[in-house]
Amino acid sequence: MHDIIHESLSRQEKALCLLRDLLEEEYSSLLSREIDTVVSLEFSVQELIRHLALEKTFVIKRLGGMRVAEYADALPDDLAAILLETLRRIDASEQDVARQASRNTTLSLALLDQSSRTLQALTKQAMPPKAETYGRRGGMRTQHPQAALISGRL
């Protein structure tokens, strides 16, 4: 049982390291605005996260809902130390992945905001001006007065 749990935890640790590398690559692709690369990396990231979830579910089912740290307490000291060290490395890797994912999110939202503002500015320039009407002095005016229901001399 110990070997099965340890192997699953080792796979999780390696998957988290790979996930961190993929997220770092995605970040550099976002910086260089390589859209196709970002999309393909995102598919890989999602698939890897799915596999990680399956591994975690496997361990939970295998231990009958017991936490790995509790299970390690029931093992001899040498085996418990190995499991706890693997858990510590997994935790550190998860924190690295979370930080990198946060950086990627911040950058992608900033790029989205920048693109939206650029699109709004271009749209505003490309839109024709509002329909113009004749003013009371015969000239064209683009703005209507606020309360223009009655406008004239008495």
Kindly state whether residue 133 falls inside one of the protein's structural domains.
Answer: no
Kindly state whether residue 95 falls inside one of the protein's structural domains.
Answer: yes
Kindly state whether residue 112 falls inside one of the protein's structural domains.
Answer: no
Kindly state whether residue 47 falls inside one of the protein's structural domains.
Answer: yes
Overall pTM > 0.85: no
Domain of residue 52, CATH code: 1.20.58.300
Alpha carbon dihedral 82, 86, 91, 96, in 10-degree steps, equals 140
Per-residue model confidence as pLDDT tens digits over 95-121: 999 999 999 999 999 988 888 888 888
- What's the rounded Cα separation, in Å, for the pair 93 and 99? 10
- Give the residue numbers spanning the domain of 25: 2-102
The rounded mean pLDDT for the chain is 85
Kindly state whether residue 134 falls inside one of the protein's structural domains.
Answer: no
- Number of folded domains that form the chain: 1
Kindly state whether residue 53 falls inside one of the protein's structural domains.
Answer: yes
Beta pairing class for 140-141 and 133-134: antiparallel
Per-residue model confidence as pLDDT tens digits over 67-81: 988 888 888 999 889
Measured distance between the N- and C-terminal CA atoms of the chain, rounded to whole angstroms:
99
Q: What is the DSSP letter of 130?
A: P
Kindly state whether residue 94 falls inside one of the protein's structural domains.
Answer: yes
Kindly state whether residue 81 falls inside one of the protein's structural domains.
Answer: yes
- What's the rounded Cα separation, in Å, for the pair 131 and 133? 7
When pLDDT is cut at 50, 70 and 90, the band that residue 2 belongs to is confident
